[in-house]
Chains A and B, each alone.
Chain A
Amino acid sequence: MAYILTFANTHEAIFAEKMLLQAGYSVGVMPLPSGIKAGCGIALRVADHLASKALLQKNNIVVSAVYQATANSEGTGYSEVEL
Chain B
Amino acid sequence: MTTHIDATGQVCPIPVIRAKKALEGMGEAGGVVTVLVDNDIARQNLQKMATGLGYQSEYAQKENGTVEVTIVAGEGCAVDSCAPADNSGLVVAIGRDTMGEGQQELGQILIKGFIYALKELVPPPTHILFFNSGSYLTGSDSNSLEDLRSLEAAGTVILTCGTCTNYYGITEKLGVGEIANMYGIVTAMAGAKRLINL
A residues at B contact (CB < 8 Å): 10, 13-14, 17-18, 21, 27-31, 41-42
Contacts and interface: CB of A to CB of B under 8 A. Distances in A.
A14 B116 contact: no
A36 to B, nearest CB: 14
B146 A10 contact: no
Interface string B122-156: 00000000000000000000011011000000000
Nearest to B116: A30
Contacts, number: 32
B112 interface: yes
A17 B147 contact: no
Nearest to A16: B109
Given A21-B143, A27-B143, A28-B143, A13 B109 contact: yes
B143 A42 contact: no
B100 to A, nearest CB: 13
Contact of A14 (B105, B117, B143, B147): B105
B168 to A, nearest CB: 20
A30 B106 contact: no
A17 B117 CA distance: 18
Interface in B86-116: 105-106, 109-110, 112-113, 116
